[in-house]
Structures are given as C-alpha cells and as structure tokens.
C-alpha cells in the first residue's frame, strides 16, 4: 500500500467530524485530538487521541505522524500551536491568526490596521473606561469579553449610560470591548479558502439569521446586490492576503441600509454558515479546507443554485425525522447531552 | 432523538462502502449484509451483518428494520429479493430487473422487445447451435456465458468457425450468448436515476476505456457529439421507463463509426464508470441512489466541467501515494487480497 497523507485536527466536535468525513473522501487519513473520549468526530476519524489541548507533550506526539495539523475551533491554546511550529510541524492556518482572533481587541485592531471596514469599538479594561467608550461608540452598544466568547456567550447590551457598570459586572469585569450596535438590513458571510501558493476560492455569499447570538439559518443566494456580494468577497480576500492565510476562513458581515458592509468577525476555520455546502457544493467547505492545508488542488466549487441550512438547537433535534421526511438532509452530531442552546445538528435542503 | 430512515444494502464491496458513506451524509442510517466479515463496506456502514445472500431467514431479519432494501451487485440471488417483496418489504430496484439482467439472454431479449438498439446476438445451448449462430451474428464474435459474468470473466472470442467448439469448451458448455463484435469509435455510459414518481435525472455522458474486459478509465465530457449524448440519455430513459425502475441504473453503449449507439449492457446499480461523480458531482451517484430509493428529493447534479477516473487494479494501488501527490483524489477499497485484475481502488481528478 502507498502511504497516504494524514491530517491532524485539534478538536473533536461536529466541525472535526465533517472534516474527517471529507478527508476520507479524499483518501486522506485523519486523526483528531480532543479531551472528550466520546466526541462527535470519533465516528468519522481514522484515529482519535484523548488528551488536553494544553498537554504539549501529547500534542507533539499527536503531530508526529501528521503531514499537517489544523484545528476546528478558535480556543485551542495558541501556545500548543506555537510549540508545534517551533518543532517544525506544519500548522495551517498558522498560530498567528489564532493569536489574533482569540482576542476580540487584537482582531479588531488587525482589521482596522488593514483598512477593513468595521463598526466602532473601544477597549474596556476598567470601570472608568466605560464613559469615554460610550462617548466614542454611542448607545446602544454591546459589551463583549475579549476572550472565549462564542454563540452569544460573554456579551451583553448596554442601552443606557447608567446601566453600563451593571453590564460590566455581568461579564465579571473581564477585559472587554464595547461595540457599536449597527442597524443592519442583513447579515451575510463569506467562506473562502487559500492555499500555500495564494490560490483563492470563495463560496457564494451566504445570508444568515441569528437569534440570541446563535446562528439559526443560512441560505444562498443572499438577497444582497451583486456589488455587495463582490465587495464581501474582495474584503475577505484582503483579509486572507494580509494574513498569508492557508485553509478555510469565514468572515461575517453586517450590511447596512446604504449597502455598506462592516466586518462583524472572522473565524479561522470551517464555519456553521457554510454547512449548506455539505451536499450543496462540491467540494464542500470541509473538503476545501483539507485540500488547502494539504496543498492539494482547490477546484472552483460547483454549487447549488439555492440552498438553505437550519441549525437544530437543543430540542430541535427531535424534529429530525419530520425534517427528513420533508426532504431535508439531516446531520445529527450525535451529542449525548441535550441542553438548551446547544447545537445538536443541522438540516440542509438545496436544489 | 428522531428516528432516521434506514437503508439496507445487500453486498459489502466498494460500491456498498460508498453508498453507506453517502447515506451517512444524508443522515440516513445504513446496514450491509455480506458473507465476508471484513468487507470494505464495514468501514462506513452503521451496521454490518455477516450472512449468505441465500440465507432467506437472515435476509428477512436484516430487512425487518430497514425502510428500503437495495443491492450493490447483480448476482444477489433473485429468490432472496422476491422473498423480501412477498413479505411486503420495499426493494429498490425491484427483483424483476435483477431477474432480467442475471441472464444475458433475457437482458438482450428485454432490450430487443423494447426497441432498444443493440448488437446482433444468438442463443447457444448446445454445440449444434454454434453454426446457425455464427451465420446470424457473423465473425469475429464473442461467446459469453449467460450467467455470472463480470469484468470480462466467462467470455471468449471466436475468430474462425473451426475454433467455435473449442471456445464453447472453454466456457464449459454453459448456456451462452454469441454476440456480434461491433467495431466502435468509443464506449460511453449513462448513469441515471429514477424515483417512485417517475422523476428522472442523468449525469453527463461518460466516456470509458476498457482493457481485457475491465474498465480502466472514465472521463467527462465524452468526446461524442451533443446528438449522440442526447440519444444515449433518451435510450437510458426509455429503459428506465420500460422497467418502472427506481434507483440508479447504468447503461453502457458502443458508439459506431456512423454515430449510432448500441447498448452493450445495463447494470441495475451504481456503476464504476460513475465513480468520477464522487467529488466531481453533487449529489454523486451514490447519494443519488440513496435519495431515489428512499423517496427523497433528487436534485439535478451540479457537475465538474471535466473529470477523470482511473481504476487502480491489482498492483496499481501501490501508486496511490504518487497519485495523491499529483492531485488525484484516491479511494482505497481497503481490500486485503491483492490479486491481478482485482479492483483495489480508484483515483479521481476533476475541475
């Protein structure tokens, strides 16, 4: 037998599960490292290693027989990635981007430094920063912790000046960013990929609906104008170029009433708003990521003309059978713990 | 959890392996029945049952919790399928088509009865049939056993009248068919699918190259004219309609010098010449089959503009690493026994 390429993935959730599925389709061997012995990715990975992301020795051993190491979520300790790079392992995307996006402030500063349009923001370290920040940003605004936020966690609105301190209390005085609330007509995202040679491909712009900070639904085509869609892709490319990025990157935007785009956030990984591509595009975002990080060809994706994805959150998963009968392609992440707000699966329909 | 649909597949080879992979992507549970405990499909099926196809009780038990039973190869005993249908299990494609194609003679007669163009043929039961058959068909001709032939097995050429009896000896005087050798400019195939409501979809016409009776390479676009491609698809549809067929069906054609098409054979299943769709089309032929037999939506496939598939036969599998480095998507069937002429894997490249 020949020796096949092998990808190592830090993380064992549904994104890793679908990355391993794509790897298998490409004839690429896959390995995941996760602290949870019963993680969703165990079903599709060729090998699963149970270890903490902080365990540098375990991470090094894990990487030893991988052609490339990648990750499925932003909160992998950046130190683990840097230690791999120092030991000459190929890590894609690189540790640098992770260091940037793990901190909302450095992420915004990076974007600002690269002339990427985004909403106003201000740094909050202490109570006395709140006044000047509200002055600069305006109200209402959203106060977000700089670290470890996801799916609407670690953030709270400020509607009135006098409630600002209570909001800061709510996030336990963690270092934070105050963000302008942008009145938007729609939310869109771009999923794009870049390889080591600078080759760039983007999936069609996706329109997203969030509820309580969690993505509920994504669809293509987005209802924005062609110009807005082109601008979204051009901004994404600018971000990728500025980073020398390798792999799939997602950029979330707000489109304002006058057709202006503001970057909300970037995710250095495959993204929930790209789940419609699993079925609705070939390659899908998962296969595109594996292709990019392993320096394989990155074909332009052939995409459905229209597609919808809805997240199955908490008890929504109980509707899976009904959705399947109605022609939806259901993906159940196989998570045993059903809790409110937890992403349990998603469903895709396309034509 | 909801109750997901479940497909049962008789057969555990690479076709079943890729069918189960597609089922999983659709949120469909998969089960295979095969006599070999270490069959390729075991890697991707949710459940694998080890039993003989002739074991009616095992087959019935296997089908009990399946929404539909399908098969990956033609040589499943037709009696097993009829017994499932009699017990009101849904079998797709149905037992009837299997009964037809398990016998080259009934297959050809069925096609002839439905005004499908094919090469001349004659029935051979005994030595004295050879003379009149050669008169009717002409020489050279190919003598093929009526039953259990695949990949060029059970067939032999007759170039001269006086060698006819030796050829018949070679196939052990099994009931046979003598077929006209058609000088062709190319071989093409159509992979199409039909659902319970008569909905029909076809993948682009594929051009095939055989060596020693085994498929070596398939590619799209086929080098035939648009008219020939349209005719091939129209003939395929006519066959599907005549059968009331449900699932994926493959039709292999010879294109003669004057742009005429003759049906070589039909396969009531996913087909080797459609492997380029795994990666190069969404849905691929495997997902399309699962969708068809489970009465799910059948979207028009979005296909690569060009694609190539090469089979990795016997020791070819040793080139897998090299192919992967050259950008091919390699599928290794994981077969332990490497023997000359055995399909060990395939590789796909597309754009």
Q: Each residue of B124-161: pLDDT tens digit?
A: 999 999 999 999 999 999 999 998 766 667 889 999 99
Decide if A96 is inside a domain: no
Same domain, A241 and A145: no
Is residue B174 located within the same domain as residue B204? no
Whether the Cβ atoms of residue B201 and residue B291 lie closer than 8 Å to each other? no
Q: How far is A296 from chain B (nearest CA, A)?
A: 5
| Inside any domain, residue B1 | no
Measured at the CA of A150, the angle between CA A145 and CA A156, to 5 degrees, comes to 45
Please give the pLDDT value at position A73: 92
* Token duo for residue B345: 């894997």
Q: What is the mean pLDDT of chain B?
A: 94
- Summarize pLDDT for B258-293 with one digit per residue, the tens: 999 999 999 999 999 999 999 999 999 999 999 999
Q: Is A1 within a domain?
A: no
pLDDT of A77 > 80? The answer is yes
- Residue in A closest to B280 by C-alpha: A282
Decide if pLDDT at A336 tops 70: yes
How many Cβ atoms are within 10 Å of B263's Cβ, its own excluded?
Answer: 22
Q: How far is A58 from chain B (nearest CA, A)?
A: 27
Nearest CA in chain B to A1: B318
* Integer CA distances (angstroms), A313 to A175, B142, B248, in order: 29, 61, 35
Among A162, A180, A198, identify where a domain stops. Answer: A180
* Angstrom distance (rounded) from CA B31 to CA B9: 6
The two three-digit tokens of residue A41, written as one number: 């990715």
Q: Find the residue in A nearest to B24 (Cα).
A: A331
For residue B224, name the pLDDT band (cuts at 50, 70, 90).
Answer: very high
Q: What is the largest CA-CA distance in chain A?
A: 69
Percent of chain A clearing pLDDT 90 (strictly above): 91
CB B155 within 8 A of CB B144: yes
**Among A180, A207, A231, which residue terminates a domain?**
A180
Measure CB to CB from residue A282 to each of B4, B281, B347 and give the nearest one: B281
Say yes or no: B65 and B160 in one domain: no
Confidence band (pLDDT; 50, 70, 90) for A86? very high
Query: Does pLDDT of A284 surpass 50?
Result: yes
The answer to whether residue B106 is domain-embedded is no
On chain A, the residues whose CB falls within 8 A of the CB of B24 are 21
Cβ of A26 within 8 Å of Cβ of B330? The answer is: yes
Q: Give exposure, B23-55, as e/b (b: 16+ Cβ within 10 Å).
A: bbbbbbbbbbbbeeeebbbbebbbebbeeebee
Inspect the interface and report whether the beta carbons of A27 and B331 lie closer than 8 Å. yes
Q: Is residue B96 domain-resident?
A: no
- In this prediction, residue B117 carries a pLDDT of 97
Mean pLDDT, chain A, rounded, equals 94
Say if residue B305's pLDDT is above 90. Answer: yes
Question: Which residue is it, tokens 């069609």?
Answer: A204
Percent of chain B with pLDDT over 70: 98
- Residue A313 distance to chain B (closest CA, Å): 12
- Among B115, B105, B78, smallest CA distance to B242 is for B115
pLDDT in tens, B168-200: 999 999 999 999 999 999 999 999 999 999 999
Residues A24 and A150 in one domain: no
Percent of chain A scored above 70 by pLDDT? 98
Whole-number pLDDT of residue A1 = 41
How high is the pLDDT of residue B340? 78
Could you tell me the CATH number of the domain that includes residue A246?
A: 3.30.470.20
Contact B2 A321 (CB under 8 A): yes
Q: What is the pLDDT of residue A37?
A: 87
Chains A, B: CB pairs < 8 Å: 119
Do the Cβ atoms of A350 and B25 come within 8 Å?
no
Distance CA A194, CA A240 (A): 7
Is A84 found in the same domain as A203? no
Integer Cα distance of B159 and B140 in angstroms: 4
- Contact A104/A146 with Cβ under 8 angstroms? yes
A201 and A283 co-located in one domain: yes
* Contact between A179 and A141 (Cβ < 8 Å): yes
A265 and A192 fall within a common domain: yes
Residue of chain B whose Cα is closest to the Cα of A296:
B327
Which CATH number belongs to the domain containing residue A130 in this structure? 3.30.1490.20
Q: Which residues of B touch A345 (CB under 8 A)?
A: 27
B10 lies in the same domain as B42:
yes
Task: Establish if A314 belongs to a structural domain.
Answer: yes
Residues A296 and A168 in one domain: no
Shared domain check, A283 and A199: yes
> pLDDT tier at B341 (50, 70, 90 boundaries)?
confident
* CA distance, residue B298 to nearest chain A CA (Å): 9
CA dihedral B285, B287, B289, B294 (to 10 degrees): -170
Q: What are phi and psi of B152, to 5 degrees?
A: 80, 0
Place of tokens 């920040």: A133
A151 vs A34, B89, B132, CA distance in Å? 20, 45, 78
Distance between CA atoms of residues A20 and B339, nearest Å: 30
Does B1 sit within 8 Å of A279, measured CB to CB? no
Nearest-CB residue to B27 (from A27, A283, A331): A331
Residue B152 lies in a domain: yes
Is the bond preceding residue A140 a cis peptide, omega within 30 degrees?
A: yes
CATH of the domain at A14: 3.40.50.20
Span of B56-65, B163-172, B214-223 with lowest mean pLDDT: B163-172
8 Å CB contact between B175 and B145: yes
Q: How far is CA A25 from its chain centroid?
A: 22
How many structural domains comprise chain A? 3
Shared-domain flag, residues B38 and B158: no
pLDDT band at A2 (very low <50, low <70, confident <90, very high): very low
Phi, psi for B282 (deg, rounded to 5): -135, 125
Measured CA to CA, the distance from residue B203 to residue A66 in angstroms comes to 37
Q: Which residue in the block uniquely carries the two structure tokens 């990157």? A: A249
- Gap between the Cα atoms of A215 and A150, Å rounded: 11
Task: Tally Cβ neighbours within 10 Å of residue A7.
Answer: 26
Dist CA A261 CA A160 (whole Å):
27
Domain that holds residue A325: 184-350
A157-172 average pLDDT score: 93
The answer to the question of residue B224 being in a domain is yes
How many whole angstroms separate alpha carbon B151 and alpha carbon B171?
15
The tokens for B263 are 């049906």
CA distance A214 to B183: 63
- Which residues of chain B does A3 touch, with a Cβ-Cβ cutoff of 8 Å? 321
Assess whether B343 and B253 both reside in one domain.
yes
Last residue of a domain, one of A163, A180, A197: A180
Distance from CA of B30 to the nearest CA of A (A): 14
Task: Give the position of tokens 């190869």.
Answer: B73
| CB < 8 Å to A20, chain B | none
Residue A113: burial class (beta carbons within 10 Å; 0-12, 13-18, 19+): exposed
Instruction: Name which of A10-14, A74-78, A302-306, B136-140 the model is least confident about.
Output: A74-78
Evaluate if residue B1 carries a pLDDT over 50: no
The whole-number average pLDDT for the span B11-26 is 97
């Amino acid at each position: 037998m020949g020796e096949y390429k092998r990808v190592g993935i830090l993380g064992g959730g549904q994104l890793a599960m679908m990355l391993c599925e794509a790897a298998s389709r490409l004839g690429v061997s896959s390995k995941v490292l996760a602290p949870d012995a019963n993680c969703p990715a165990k079903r599709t990975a060729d090998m699963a290693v149970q270890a903490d992301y902080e365990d540098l020795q375990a991470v090094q051993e894990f990487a030893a027989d991988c052609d490339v190491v990648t990750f499925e979520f932003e909160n992998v300790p950046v130190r683990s990635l840097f230690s791999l790079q120092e030991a000459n392992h190929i890590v894609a995307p690189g540790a640098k981007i992770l260091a940037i996006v793990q901190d909302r402030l450095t992420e915004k500063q990076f974007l600002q430094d690269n002339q990427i349009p985004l909403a106003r923001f201000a740094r909050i370290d202490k109570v006395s920063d709140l006044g000047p920040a509200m002055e600069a940003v305006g109200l209402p605004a959203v106060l977000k912790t700089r670290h470890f936020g996801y799916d609407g966690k670690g953030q709270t609105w400020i509607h009135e000046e006098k409630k600002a301190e209570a909001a800061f209390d709510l996030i336990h005085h963690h270092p934070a960013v105050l963000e302008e609330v942008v009145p938007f007509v729609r939310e869109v995202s771009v999923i794009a990929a870049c390889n080591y040679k600078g080759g760039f491909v983007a999936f069609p712009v996706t329109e997203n609906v969030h509820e309580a900070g969690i993505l509920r639904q994504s669809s293509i085509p987005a209802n924005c104008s062609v110009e807005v869609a082109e601008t979204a892709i051009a901004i994404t490319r600018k971000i990728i170029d500025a980073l020398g990025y390798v792999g799939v990157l997602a950029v979330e935007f707000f489109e304002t009433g006058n057709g202006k785009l503001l970057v909300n956030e970037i995710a250095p990984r495959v993204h929930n708003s790209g789940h419609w591509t699993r079925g609705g595009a070939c390659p899908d975002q998962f296969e595109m990521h594996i292709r990019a990080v392993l320096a394989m060809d990155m074909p332009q994706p052939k995409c459905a003309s229209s597609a919808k994805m809805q997240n199955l959150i908490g008890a929504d998963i109980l509707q899976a059978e009904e959705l399947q009968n109605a022609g939806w392609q259901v993906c159940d992440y196989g998570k045993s713990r059903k809790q409110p707000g937890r992403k349990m699966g998603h469903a895709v329909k396309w034509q």
